[in-house]
Amino acid sequence: MSARYASRALPASDEEGAAFERTVRLWRLAADSYARVAQLGSDSDVHRQLALVCQRCLSYAGQCLIEYYRARRAIAPGLWMELHGYFDTADDWGLIREPVSDALGLFGSTTSCAESYAAVLLVDLANPYSRTPRELSWILRWAHLLAPATAVNLPDEDAGPTKAWLVLHRDDPEVRPYFERAYGKRPKYQVFDRKKDPHEIDNVAEDPDYAGVRARLLADLLALTASGIAAEEPRAAPAAVSEQGWPPHMHGRR
């Protein structure tokens, strides 16, 4: 279908525009469908396939961006955020490097979330808007071939000496608690007693003395989302704050 609009003169004809919109809509629908499957992660069968589900989300969201390059159109707002959100979710779940089967098998029998994400970033770095269809096809091929050897590093919010010192000494027992508080992954639940701990340093979510408080706060949150106040926010759906504690990024787009 992309042959109807790829590298055609702009502005596009009605037929070319319609073909482009249909193609993008199909790719986004495919990504969104897999994202909805991820919401069923508490199901044992789905849980075993979460790496595959995340990779398909990234692959199809990335394909949306590729279609914009083919059509030489400005990428619609939110598409990059969707791609980054899917990668963040896979990273939160520790799945970015888990190998999964490549359904199309164009560049090998296996791939991963990290490779699918890196391939799209590599294509974007290759100035795709200035390429002929043949050149773009070669860029796509090389991006997928180089993706396994590409490291994806998240932006560093602080490259100053303080962080450098904490990272360097993070294995020191006396330094480790400070490193974890500043840069460690946040736990599933966080509860702070602001009367005793106004700076919110000590997480008491797992403290038995605060079990009732945690249960009440979670119940209040579920009641708030069920009330319809946050009905337009997909991440506020009860499933997003259930006991499974799935990260919010997979809860679609609006």
Q: Which pLDDT band holds residue 240 (cuts at 50, 70, 90)?
A: very low
- Quote the CA–CA distance of 53 and 59 in Å, as a whole number: 10
Q: Which pLDDT band holds residue 81 (cuts at 50, 70, 90)?
A: confident
* pTM for the whole structure: 0.60
- Quote the CA–CA distance of 216 and 150 in Å, as a whole number: 45
* pLDDT, mean of residues 182-203: 84
- Give the pairing type, strands 100-101 and 110-111: antiparallel
pLDDT tens, 136-154?
999 999 999 999 988 776 6
CA R_g for the chain: 22
The alpha-helical segments, DSSP class H, found in 72-154 are 79-92, 113-125, 133-146
pLDDT score of 119:
94
In a domain? residue 195: yes
Give the length of the chain.
254
Residue linked to tokens 């932006």? 155
Q: Which pLDDT band holds residue 118 (cuts at 50, 70, 90)?
A: very high
Contact 23, 66 (CB under 8 A): no
DSSP lists the bridge partners of residue 111 as 100
In a domain? residue 175: no
142 in the same domain as 18: yes
In a domain? residue 109: yes
Residue 190 buriedness (CB in 10 A; 0-12 / 13-18 / 19+): exposed
Residue 249 buriedness (CB in 10 A; 0-12 / 13-18 / 19+): buried
SS3 189: coil
Task: Please give the angle made by the CA atoms of 124, 130 and 134, to the nearest 5 degrees.
Answer: 90
- Quote the CA–CA distance of 128 and 66 in Å, as a whole number: 9
215 in the same domain as 101: no
Contact 120, 158 (CB under 8 A): no
Range of the domain at 86: 2-149
Domain count, the chain: 2
208 in the same domain as 90: no
In a domain? residue 229: yes
* pLDDT, mean of residues 3-23: 74
140 in the same domain as 34: yes
In a domain? residue 168: no
Q: Which pLDDT band holds residue 238 (cuts at 50, 70, 90)?
A: very low
